[in-house]
Structure 1
């Protein structure tokens, strides 16, 4: 019996040791929950950032969450509950400003936390004025604009934002985002307000009423969307004649999926998108290591291989080349291309950081009427 035990114990010890080793490996894996926008945009991040980083760091597992459109409300709830389960959040500029002001995100030391450009240029200089908040790391310049079904507009395609509001000339459903941002600005422009006066007008009660009155003219023909992937699908299904969404989503539908859709660039709304790190996250050190990689010059240029958004680093722009799968030149598809940027609405980050809650409440009341 003792002989059998002596023969068995080493094998048992090896089995226990191996099991403990596997448990230690499993425990060593860090799971980062990265919140973004889903669809073609998250896919571009997955290919340009997440997969290369996980390949080089097998102890890191990145899990995508598509709740970025609810970022502020969910971060507030997590902070109040004392249980922040998100590690990194993709946010538009106004959301980043508000999150920073409310203490929901940590401040970034851009020059120490982020990589320099290849020539040694510090990150703060490389990103320049696009760092609109101490908590914000810019990724892309994008626009929200309109796409339309080419087979439903005859031989006279829309060329102006006014056409979105012209149901007689272009009958059919529209798709608009279920929030006041951009919709109020476009309504005022279509109602004759000079672009340079739009935010001053929106800062008044009369201006908000004027914008909502203009939206009233198409309200019963609007399908309201909440995620960027919805409008391309509505257009592809023929449920709407024209609809707003992010330019990269329309690029994907038109160029990659070959849908009968074209872009209406008139008064596209320029905006910034980037990262914020939630305060109280459990994996802050791992997140900061990831961000140094994901926001370097090459990675931001790499994202432009998959979606038509302009990289936020100045040093990345010259590296933007061809689409990874199709081999087409990506530059003409960027919102910043001169042919696309003849009429652009420069989004006022500070205005919306200060007024989003109030105008959203008014907008929702109007929606319910």
Structure 2
């Protein structure tokens, strides 16, 4: 805050002291903890603090939208910025506990990976659900999303997440539906029927997984010949455990996290300054050195080291037949499709 020159009185001194204390409070930023938050510390928090002198206080949560909502409704918003997933940002916008973002300050929505923007959040990282196989066991492995369903060429068990999300999209793409027509197809009864019919073709060969650590374990033990997974889990297994797991990027299902500002923050300007820094190309590229998520800002991609870029969802080569999660579709249809999915599994 800047003051015009005036005669310094006792009350003015008190006011100046109060303002100094307020600026010293800095920003409280909440994220998901673990390796992900450590990557944010290195790429964003430390450099921003060094550049601006802003003190950053970190907190962690498990993605509970209810915590953000309760804070806003109490009139005591203590989190200035929160890293939220695509479902939470949509919920926060719909229910009004997140602040609308002025994208004109950040290059417009077209500056980010297509489909990742939201009126109440700025995209930060892109991750994806892919499928993978063990390169030591399959020398001439699968190449396309259709191969996930080809049990003649690639016999054996497949592991899929125990959820309609992802599986219905993969089934339709494997059945010949172009990626840009998948959600329009799923909005019809015929499209949903078609997806389940395709899943029927491999139903007896499916092993279900429910936790992110399971897919690499299933591949390592040889219980399955291929598995869907979150790309970061496969990358970590290769890097930390010396595995030779191969990712098939064709038909990958993209999802993302975003920076969101809860309603009622005390210093909107400071929050915007952090977002301006965090969504800029250099810090976004820097984060990829610490974790295998792609930057949401398109301008960051050319700044990523080639050896790192090839393992990211947002590498141009990997994006050729990618599908962006339709958050609104799942918000509108999740309950109905989950019920049908669970019934189908039980049959």
TM surpasses 0.5: yes
> Which residue number in structure 2 is paired with residue 47 of structure 1?
42
Matches within 5 A, 1:231-246: 231-236=215-220, 238-246=222-230
Query: Which residue, 314, 323, 343 being the options, matches 1:345?
Result: 323
Distance 1:39 1:167 in 2: 37
> Which residue number in structure 1 is paired with residue 312 of structure 2?
334
Query: Which residue, 102, 124, 139 being the options, matches 2:124?
Result: 139
Distance 1:74 1:178 in 2: 27
Distance 2:58 2:277 in 1: 14
1:163 equivalent to 2:147? Answer: yes
Alpha carbons of 1:244 and 1:299: their partners in 2 closer, same or farther (altered >3 Å)?
Answer: same
Alpha carbons of 1:283 and 1:220: their partners in 2 closer, same or farther (altered >3 Å)?
Answer: farther
RMSD across aligned C-alpha pairs, in angstroms? 3.9
Query: Which residue, 56, 80, 84 being the options, matches 1:60?
Result: 56
Matches within 5 A, 1:1-369: 32=28, 34-36=30-32, 40-53=35-48, 59-65=55-61, 67-68=62-63, 71-72=64-65, 88-93=81-86, 95-111=88-104, 122=107, 126-127=111-112, 132-153=117-138, 155-167=139-151, 169-216=153-200, 217-218=202-203, 221-227=206-212, 229-236=213-220, 238-255=222-239, 257-279=241-263, 287-288=271-272, 290-321=274-305, 329-367=307-345
Q: Any conservation in 2 of the 1:32–1:283 contact (CA below 8 Å)?
A: no
TM-score by length of 2: 0.73
Alpha carbons of 1:105 and 1:361: their partners in 2 closer, same or farther (altered >3 Å)?
Answer: farther
Q: Any conservation in 2 of the 1:130–1:272 contact (CA below 8 Å)?
A: no
Q: Any conservation in 2 of the 1:149–1:242 contact (CA below 8 Å)?
A: yes
Distance 2:111 2:180 in 1: 28
Q: Deviations over 1:80-109 (max 9, x none)?
A: 888878664434445433431232322122
Distance 1:215 1:163 in 2: 13
Q: Any conservation in 2 of the 1:174–1:241 contact (CA below 8 Å)?
A: yes
1:366, distance to aligned residue in structure 2 (A): 4.1
Paired residues in the alignment total: 323
Q: Decide which structure has the larger Cα Rg and report it.
A: 1
Between 135-144 and 94-103, report the one with greater CA deviation. 94-103
Task: Report SS of the residue matched to 1:333.
Answer: coil
Alpha carbons of 1:146 and 1:82: their partners in 2 closer, same or farther (altered >3 Å)?
Answer: farther
Q: Any conservation in 2 of the 1:32–1:287 contact (CA below 8 Å)?
A: no
TM-score by length of 1: 0.69
Task: Give ranges in structure 1 of 5+ residues lacking alignment.
Answer: 1-24, 115-121, 323-328
> Which residue number in structure 2 is paired with residue 11 of structure 1?
none
Q: Any conservation in 2 of the 1:72–1:99 contact (CA below 8 Å)?
A: yes
Task: Report SS of the residue matched to 1:143.
Answer: strand
> Which residue number in structure 1 is paired with residue 18 of structure 2?
none
Task: Give ranges in structure 2 of 5+ residues lacking alignment.
Answer: 1-20
1:168, distance to aligned residue in structure 2 (A): 5.4
Q: Any conservation in 2 of the 1:235–1:243 contact (CA below 8 Å)?
A: yes
1:251, distance to aligned residue in structure 2 (A): 2.8
Task: Report SS of the residue matched to 2:249.
Answer: strand
Task: Report SS of the residue matched to 1:108.
Answer: coil
Q: Deviations over 1:30-76 (max 9, x none)?
A: 7846233x6654443243223445667684331333x24xx456656
Task: Report SS of the residue matched to 1:132.
Answer: coil
1:202, distance to aligned residue in structure 2 (A): 0.9
